[in-house]
Structures are given as structure tokens and as C-alpha cells.
């Protein structure tokens, strides 16, 4: 059944990524009156950007969220002109430049809208370290949760990749202070670490048990994940967005189908 799950998710990814030839890269596009974040609800990388948009209260009039399908898909010339990697998210900002890569988008939003909402602790070393570990050592192997076949990053087997994933979760868990105040990873203030890790944790919490791993998330990390989605409405919103599409019947990844 785990292979059925993986094949279903792989089919979704294949559907999202069209196979049209690449277009030349340009940092510029036609300027508009608002910026546009091209993203899909199921994308954990895009979801970190949405957390910052929601927490900062940046209105749709400033940054619109749109599907890559509005440009025909990830491999169309129109989309590749914004991001030659053919990946999401990408932020087409209103002065005419396009910014790919979710961490870069987040830092742009944190800087540009520094006067709105929380600042996400851009200079906090604990936050930046957790976000970096997530990007370098977790997202690079997260395909083991849904891809049908290896490789999963540098790993040739799913079991090796999942073992490494559990190890990296423990590394992050050890960075959470035992006596911290507040619901966030670094205490009372939301940080880039929270925005980066939370959407990926939705995948991890949903998929690890499907591979027979019920103890993969260490206790402090599990408590943070539960508490922040229960007590922060913006994180709860993103949780619902990602999980709804992760478990939608259109991707055949609904929980009831996984258990058949």
C-alpha cells in the first residue's frame, strides 16, 4: 500500500510539472500594480511564504496568491520566464522582478513588510539554524515520503532516507529549549524557523505512520507542532490548506484510501 501512496503522489507531481521545453530566464517581467505569489496549497515550500503573508496581514491588494496553472503550468515559457528551474513558489514582485526560492521569498517579505506584524526574528541564530537544517537536510530527502522510487536525495533506499529524516528531526528537537516560554520554536515570538518547518511537518505527521513509523517525531517537536496549530489561527489555516489538498480524493491520497 505504501507504493500505491507513493505512485499516487508521484502522479500528482507529474501532473503539476508539464514537460514543455524550457524558456530563457529573465529577472524581469511586465510590472503590475501588485505582486503575485505563484503557488499551490499542497506545496510545503510555498506554505512557508503564505504563513508570513498571513501573519503580517499583507492583503491580496499587495500580494496576490495564484496558481502556476494560471500561466499554463510550471514548464510553460511564461512560467519559466519567472523561474527557469520550473519549480514553485515564485514571487513576481510589482516592480517587475521575479524571485524564486521560498527562503529568499520569505526574507524579501520580512524585509519589505518589516513594519507589518511580527518580524520573524531575522537575526535570531536559533531560528536561522533550524530553518537551514530544514532546507539542507530535510527538504532534500522529503521525497521519501511520497516518491514512488529512489533516489531520495543521496539515499538509494527509502528506509535509509527515512532513518536520516528521523535523525534530522532529533537534531532540531535538541535545539528547542526545554524551558522556553511561548508556543513557538524560539519562545514567545514567531520566527522563520516556525514558518519553514511547520508545513513540512504536516507531510511528516501524515505520511510517516503510513510507513509503519509511529515514533518518528520527537516529543518537543511534536508538542510544538500540535500547540502552534491549535493556538495560532494562521498556522491552523495553513495546516488546513495543505492537509486538505494532501488528502484530497483528486490525488487519491485521502486517508480512507490509504487504509484500504
Q: What are 104-158's pLDDT values in tens digits?
A: 999 999 999 999 999 999 999 999 999 999 999 999 999 999 999 999 999 999 9
- Per-residue pLDDT reduced to its tens digit, 147-190: 999 999 999 999 999 999 999 999 999 999 999 999 999 999 99
Are residues 102 and 156 part of one domain? no
Q: What is the CATH number of the domain that holds 207?
A: 1.20.1050.10
Q: Which of 57, 82, 55 is nearest to 68 (CA)?
A: 82
How confident is the model over 24-79, as pLDDT tens digits? 333 444 456 789 999 999 999 999 999 999 999 999 999 999 999 999 999 999 99
Domain contains 117: no
User: Would you say residue 2 lies in a domain?
Assistant: no
pTM of the model: 0.85
Claim to verify: residue 85 and residue 166 sit in the same structural domain: no
Q: Is the pLDDT of residue 230 over 70?
A: yes
Q: Which of 53, 88, 112 lies at the terminal end of a domain, its last residue? A: 112
**Would the pLDDT of 254 be above 90?**
no
Task: Provide the domain limits for residue 140.
Answer: 125-258
pLDDT of residue 258: 31
**Lowest-confidence pick of 83-97, 153-167, 223-237:** 83-97
136 and 252 share one domain: yes
**Residues 141, 83 share a domain:** no
- Is 209 within the bounds of a domain? yes
Pair (145, 181) in one structural domain: yes
**pLDDT grade for 96, boundaries at 50, 70 and 90:** confident
The count of domains in the chain is: 2
Q: Is the residue at 51 inside a domain?
A: yes
Q: Do the domain assignments include residue 199?
A: yes
Residues in contact with 9: Cβ distance below 8 Å, sequence separation at least 6, in sequence order: 146, 147, 148, 251, 253
Do 131 and 93 share a domain, yes or no? no
- What is the DSSP secondary-structure string of 179-244? T--SSBTTBSS--HHHHHHHHHHHHHHHHGGGGT-SS-S-HHHHHHHHHHHHH-HHHHHHHHHHHH
In this prediction, residue 4 has a pLDDT band, given cuts at 50, 70 and 90, of low
Choose between 53 and 20: higher pLDDT. Answer: 53
Beta-strand relationship, 90-92 and 63-66 = unpaired
Amino acid at each position: 500500500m505504501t507504493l500505491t501512496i507513493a505512485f499516487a503522489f508521484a502522479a500528482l507531481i507529474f501532473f503539476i510539472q508539464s514537460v514543455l521545453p524550457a524558456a530563457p530566464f529573465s529577472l524581469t517581467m511586465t510590472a503590475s500594480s501588485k505582486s503575485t505569489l505563484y503557488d499551490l496549497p499542497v506545496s510545503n515550500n510555498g506554505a512557508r511564504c503564505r504563513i508570513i503573508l498571513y501573519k503580517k496581514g499583507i492583503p491580496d491588494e499587495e500580494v496576490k496568491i495564484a496558481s502556476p496553472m494560471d500561466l499554463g503550468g510550471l514548464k510553460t515559457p511564461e512560467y519559466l520566464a519567472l523561474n527557469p528551474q520550473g519549480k514553485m513558489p515564485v514571487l513576481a514582485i510589482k516592480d517587475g522582478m521575479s524571485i524564486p526560492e521560498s527562503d529568499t521569498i520569505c526574507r524579501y517579505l520580512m524585509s519589505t513588510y518589516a513594519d507589518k506584524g511580527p518580524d520573524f526574528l531575522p537575526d535570531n541564530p536559533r531560528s536561522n539554524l533550524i530553518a537551514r537544517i530544514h532546507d539542507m537536510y530535510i527538504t532534500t530527502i522529503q521525497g521519501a515520503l511520497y516518491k514512488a522510487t529512489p533516489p531520495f536525495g543521496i539515499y538509494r533506499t527509502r528506509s535509509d532516507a527515512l532513518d536520516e529524516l528521523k535523525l534530522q528531526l532529533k537534531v532540531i528537537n535538541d535545539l528547542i529549549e526545554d524551558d522556553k516560554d511561548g508556543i513557538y520554536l524560539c519562545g514567545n515570538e514567531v520566527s522563520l524557523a516556525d514558518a519553514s518547518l511547520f508545513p513540512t511537518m504536516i507531510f511528516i505527521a501524515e505520511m510517516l505512520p503510513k510507513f509503519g513509523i509511529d515514533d518518528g517525531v520527537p516529543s518537543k517537536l511534536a508538542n510544538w507542532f500540535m500547540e502552534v496549530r491549535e493556538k495560532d489561527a494562521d498556522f491552523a489555516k495553513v495546516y488546513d490548506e495543505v492537509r486538505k489538498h494532501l488528502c484530497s480524493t483528486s490525488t487519491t491520497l485521502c486517508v480512507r484510501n490509504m487504509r484500504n
